[in-house]
Amino acid sequence: RRDEHWLTLPNPWDIPVDICAGERVPLEPAAVDEVLSVLETAGTLARLAGTAPGHGTPRLTRLVLTPDFHKGAGIPIGTVVETEGALLPQAVGNDVNCGMRLEVTSLTVEEVRPRLDALERRLRHLFFEGGRRIALTPVQREALLREGLPGLLLTGDAPWQGYQPTDPGDCLDRMHAPAHPAGTAGAFADWITSAGSGGGASHDSIIGGIGGGNHFAELQYVARVHDASAAYAWGLTPGMVVLMVHSGSLSLGHQANATALDGLRETWPAGLPRPLNGILPFPLDERSAAARRRYLDAFGNAANFAAGNRFFLALTMRAGLAAECGRMTARLVYDAPHNLFWQDGDRIVHRKGATPAGGHEQMTGGPYAMWGEPVIVPGSMGAASYVLRGHGDPRTLASACHGAGRRVPRGATARASDRDLDAFLREFRVVTPLNHRDPAVARRADVMAAWRRDLKQEAPWAYKDIGPVVSSLHAGGVAAPVAELRPLLTVKG
Ligand code: 5GP
Ligand code: MN
Ligand code: MN
């Protein structure tokens, strides 16, 4: 049922399902089917409750879909799931604490544009040719994984010597307060000391990998301001260059989810059939306490790593800018996760590919109490991105979309023509690990074909139009646009 900006899905469980999407936002039928299948988890929870009476009843209470929602692995990307008495690791997504980070620099687009060729070479070197020097000692790595960036700061010696100076706000008060599940901070999953993302216990490990696919580090500029007061307060004046980072926990998040799946299978009651939709819950009872603990340790480590990784990716960008454009400073606007869960007593809000969009009432004390929570919505490497301010709308459980969202499944976009790709590449600057400007590389037809195929999956035609997506958020009362950002250069893992 579509009313003006919303679609509601009636269902036999009578669970409120709200899809924030105006008429001009394309919806993938396969993703809608997936939503209906997620609802079967209501039945799963009821069956689980029957196996241990007296533990309170785990329930699925609400589902929200953001305008960028599209088919995912079992649960669509762009889904918010609210439960009582149950934790659903699969409703968080594999890449734990994947998120967006936005910084505003002191440089203008006029200063940066003429230097883009040199900047491209510099950033390729920094990101992909061993030019990056940020290394964590084992002590620093452990502090980051246990306690996040605040923990890392406490170790003293900053691993970012020679990079742009940072102020503590970069690590603390301008990040979404992650509100980790109770007791997570301080734990250290035992497998991490010997495995994880690069480097064993005794070696310095390099941090700041982008990760493949949709992840990126991008230079943009403020092209248009929609809300002059909020934009001014956040330092977003027209013509200023900003940097946006999208990255997650690399292999650590996958490890955390593997840990969850082991625990979920182990604690599933013998004799009870497994749910057909493949979604296995942890009821918040004693039976699963030990398995949940193992998961939450790994989860907390991965989440802390991801936020640190975004910080270091931004520093690498700053270093490139400073080297090519001269003295500059950068300041964090916001860092927000879109694959995480938030627990308040028995109630858990899971966001998988959805970003928090709190209103100013929810932002007590921080620098956003006046305007609401910044909502970062990237479009694609060939389209505009937006920053909005959240309204804390209860209908979306104070959530918004975290991007434009895929328009078509990955494979389908590969069929775009080479001419379209060339036109795109002439207009937009993309830095990838493969240096296609190197004549030796350009001669290798097979290598170039693979590179072109990958780029086609990420080009603007692979994503929904950002305009209608942002209008739906606005018209639906979820968040209001503050500034439109346009890309100058995109670094893709
Ligand atoms: P996800 O978190 O689901 O991997 O993707 C987030 C969103 O980022 C996508 O839905 C897409 O709209 C956006 N996106 C993907 N690649 C790029 C890019 O290179 N640049 C920008 N600005 N946005 C991108
Ligand atoms: Mn991710
Ligand atoms: Mn992501």
For ligand 1, pick from 100, 377, 380, 428 the residue to mutate: most ligand atoms within 8 Å of CB.
Answer: 380
- pLDDT for 381 equals 95
Q: What is the DSSP letter of 346?
A: T
Q: Which long-range contacts (CB under 8 A, 24 or more apart) does 110-119 make?
A: 110/239, 111/241, 111/325, 112/219, 112/221, 112/241, 112/321, 112/325, 112/488, 113/488, 115/324, 115/325, 116/429, 116/488, 116/489, 118/324, 119/219, 119/320, 119/321, 119/324, 119/325, 119/489
Residue closest via CA to ligand 1's atom 16 equals: 214
CB-ligand 1 contact for 484 (6 Å cutoff): no
- pLDDT for 294 equals 93
- Find residue 484's DSSP bridge partners: 224, 386
Residue closest via CA to ligand 1's atom 1 equals: 214
How many angstroms separate the CA atoms of 188 and 110, rounded?
47
CB-ligand 1 contact for 402 (6 Å cutoff): yes
**What residue ranges define each of the domains in the chain, with the CATH number in brackets?**
6-407+463-492 (3.90.1860.10)
How many angstroms separate the CA atoms of 351 and 89, rounded?
10
CB-ligand 1 contact for 381 (6 Å cutoff): yes
Please give all residues whose CB falls under 5 A of ion ligand 3, grouped by chain where several chains appear. 98
Would you state the structure tokens that stand for residue 267, as one six-digit string? Answer: 């604690």
- Find residue 355's DSSP bridge partners: 400
DSSP 3-state assignment of 367? coil
- pLDDT for 2 equals 61
CB-ligand 1 contact for 68 (6 Å cutoff): yes
Q: What is the DSSP letter of 414?
A: T
CA distances from 269 to 74, 85, 174, 286 (A): 22, 17, 43, 13
- pLDDT for 413 equals 72
The residues of the chain scoring below 50 in pLDDT are: 179-183, 194-202
- HEC profile for 467-488? HHHHHHHHHCCCEEEEEEEEEE
387-412 confidence digits (pLDDT tens): 999 999 999 999 999 999 998 776 67
Q: Which residues contact 450 (CB under 8 A, 6 or more apart)?
A: none
CB 352 within 8 A of CB 79: yes
- pLDDT for 191 equals 54
- pLDDT for 163 equals 78
Nearest CA to 300 out of 118, 468, 178 is that of 178
Nearest atom in ligand 1 to the alpha carbon of residue 430 is: 19
- Find residue 31's DSSP bridge partners: none
Residue closest via CA to ligand 1's atom 24 equals: 380
DSSP 3-state assignment of 37? helix
Is the pTM higher than 0.90? The answer reads yes
